[in-house]
Amino acid sequence: MKSPLDPTPSPADPRTRPVAAGLADGGDVYVRDANGTVHVLPDGPHLHPKVLGGAQPAMYAGDMTVRRGRVVDLTNLSGTFKFDDEDGLRDVADELRRAGLTVERGAVRFFPADGSRPVVLA
């Protein structure tokens, strides 16, 4: 678990919802909560702290893109949480699959904290 770098207890955005099959196409930010549930919110600036709200800690966070009902991009990019753990991103991909989403081959990209090139995990 990691607390957000921005400790401001922002309220949760009312558009936030648990990830599920049938997710609309587009870009989303995601946060995995303490129970392992991945919550999504349409992408925008500085939204990660508003996914769960209240400066709650997270198991993982990043962004994702859905196209034609399939996850085509899944990353650990989040300025609020800055997760640097490949296994955590793999766990998010597995949770998306359990929720009924298809994660495309090559979609899971891990960005190391040192700024080196991203690594394709799956």
- Is residue 40, in this structure, part of any structural domain at all? yes
Euclidean distance between CA atoms 78 and 47, whole angstroms: 9
- Is residue 9, in this structure, part of any structural domain at all? no
- Is residue 31, in this structure, part of any structural domain at all? yes
Antiparallel, parallel or unpaired: β 60-67 and 38-42? unpaired
Query: Token match 């995995």: residue?
Result: 32
- Is residue 98, in this structure, part of any structural domain at all? yes
- Is residue 5, in this structure, part of any structural domain at all? no
pLDDT at position 50, please? 95
pTM: 0.95
* Nearest residue to 3 via CA among 41, 85, 51, 59: 59
- Is residue 103, in this structure, part of any structural domain at all? yes
3-state secondary structure of 42: strand
Euclidean distance between CA atoms 91 and 15, whole angstroms: 24
pLDDT at 7 over 90: no
Euclidean distance between CA atoms 55 and 49, whole angstroms: 6
7 exposed, middle or buried (CB, 10 Å; 0-12, 13-18, 19+)? Answer: exposed
What are the tens digits of pLDDT across the range 48-84?
999 999 999 999 999 999 999 899 999 999 999 999 9
Antiparallel, parallel or unpaired: β 60-67 and 26-32? antiparallel
pLDDT at 8 over 90: no
3-state secondary structure of 98: helix
Question: Could you list the residue range(s) of the whole structural domain that residue 45 is in?
Answer: 17-120
What are the tens digits of pLDDT across the range 9-25?
999 999 999 999 999 99
- Is residue 47, in this structure, part of any structural domain at all? yes
The number of distinct structural domains making up the chain is: 1
- Is residue 2, in this structure, part of any structural domain at all? no
